Amino acid sequence: MKPMNLFALMKALAISATMISAVATLTSTTASAASCTFTTWTAGVNYPLGTVVQYPADGNFYKEIAVGTNGSDATDPTISTFYWAQTTCAAQSDNIVGGYWPRWTPSQIRIRDVNPNYNLIYLFAATPVGGSPGTTGAVTWDPPEDGRGAATNLVADIQYARTVQGRKIILSVGGAKNGMSFPDRTKSQNFVNSIVAIYQQLGGFDGLDWNTFESTQAPDTSEMIWISLELKRLYPGFIITAPPAPWNPLDKTFCRAMVQAGAMDYAAPQYYDGPNLADPAYVASNIADWVSLLGPTHVVVGFGVNNAANYMTIDQAVSTWNQVKAAYPTIHGGFDWQIGTDEAQGWQFANTMQPLINP
């Protein structure tokens, strides 16, 4: 074997240094993604720099490390090593950090521009045909106001939020004195048909929020169970939720029956807009009732952070969450009413609560 000349030795050392640097870079990328948020890779989507995707065919994770003309240029992470590097990803806690997005706000923020700390957005709200409690059982969804392009871009923004940003979008039905009744299967089927139509209208969404607790109207539990299970059958993985009144025994009975039937994923009692509801001590005490009824993984805390009577300050929300979390470590998260208010306040809820809810 010939002895290596000086030039060859220097070249070999340079190559080794490059390899070591590359390994170090990959190791750093992998370590930084050890705990992360990821989305399922979809063909044809242009992902932004830093996105972590899970490739459905092999279950592996890839992080986008370079950008082209259009983000990832719709490249396949198993083929393009320029855009993608394989990484590891332990998914962050899937606790809910939700917010309600009312369609009536004149200049509502676009869905895709909502603070990224919200991992779930409720579209508020579809309402009963003919007014409460509904004449046919069907609901209708009217487009939002378009002051900042929320209506013009709604369908595209919903799908971008779901596929690229990895958020859940849930359609809320009822609310604002729009209670509903389902006295027979015909009205129930009409409701399902209308949800299917709205689903197609919006390009798809991830669940339904029963926001139908109005006045003294009792829920038609058996039919609402049938409706919920039918939607879950039509759309595998479909999420069913509800924001009940914290004190109402009818709501408690309904939510318990729904959870026991496998027809509801979680209930989120609303602790705002009523006497004493925004008191952290009351919430910490009352949430115990819901946990005993449903189990902590089926309970989400409904917050209202606003400079108004019977709403919390952000400090009160933090105190409340810390008490609840200490008592019930597997509590399933929290939501805020509403996203527009949070934006006006500089995203207090999103930026302060997300690290506490999903550390």
Q: Residue 52's pLDDT is what?
A: 83
For residue 116, give the DSSP letter: T
Number of CB atoms found within 10 A of residue 20's CB: 10
Cα–Cα separations (whole angstroms), residue 204 to 30, 125, 175, 227, 339: 33, 15, 21, 18, 21
By 3-state DSSP, what share of the chain in percent is helix, strand and coil, each rounded to 5? 35, 20, 45
* Model pTM score: 0.77
Q: Residue 29's pLDDT is what?
A: 31
Instruction: Enter the tokens of residue 309.
Output: 């009577």
Q: What is the pLDDT of residues 207-262, one digit of tens each?
A: 999 998 876 678 999 999 999 999 999 999 999 999 999 999 999 999 999 999 99
Q: Is the previous residue joined to 338 through a cis bond, with omega within 30 degrees of 0?
A: yes
Read off φ and ψ for residue 343, nearest 5 degrees. -60, -45
Q: Residue 193's pLDDT is what?
A: 98
Q: Residue 79's pLDDT is what?
A: 92
Cα–Cα separations (whole angstroms), residue 254 to 162, 228, 293: 30, 13, 11
User: Given this structure, which CATH class describes domain 96-357?
Assistant: alpha beta
Contact (Cβ atoms closer than 8 angstroms) between residue 123 and residue 172: yes
Q: Residue 90's pLDDT is what?
A: 55
Q: Residue 85's pLDDT is what?
A: 92
d(CA 265, CA 259): 7
Burial of 267 (0-12, 13-18, 19+ CB in 10 A): buried
Q: Nearest CA to 244 among 277, 220, 267, 278?
A: 267
Cα–Cα separations (whole angstroms), residue 68 to 41, 71, 86, 155: 17, 5, 18, 25
Q: Residue 30's pLDDT is what?
A: 30
- CATH number (2.10.10.20, 2.40.50.140, 3.50.50.60, 3.30.470.20) of 24-91 reads 2.10.10.20
Residue type, position 27, single letter: T
Q: Nearest CA to 232 among 263, 209, 197?
A: 263
Matching CATH topology for 24-91 and 96-357?
no
Q: Residue 54's pLDDT is what?
A: 79
Q: Residue 250's pLDDT is what?
A: 94
One pLDDT digit (tens) per residue for the chain, 359 residues: 334 343 343 344 343 433 333 333 333 333 333 445 667 788 888 888 888 887 877 778 888 888 787 778 889 999 988 999 988 765 556 899 999 999 998 999 999 999 999 999 999 999 999 999 999 999 999 999 999 999 999 999 999 999 999 999 999 999 888 989 999 999 999 999 999 999 999 999 999 999 988 766 789 999 999 999 999 999 999 999 999 999 999 999 999 999 999 999 999 999 999 999 999 999 999 999 999 999 999 999 999 999 999 999 999 999 999 999 999 999 999 999 999 999 999 999 999 999 999 98
Helices (H) and strands (E) in the chain, counts: 9, 16
Read off φ and ψ for residue 241, nearest 5 degrees. -135, 175
Q: Residue 37's pLDDT is what?
A: 64
CA 17 to chain centre: 44
Instruction: Enter the tokens of residue 156.
Output: 């595209």
Parse the chain into domains and list their residue ranges.
24-91, 96-357
Please give the mean pLDDT across all residues of the chain. Answer: 87
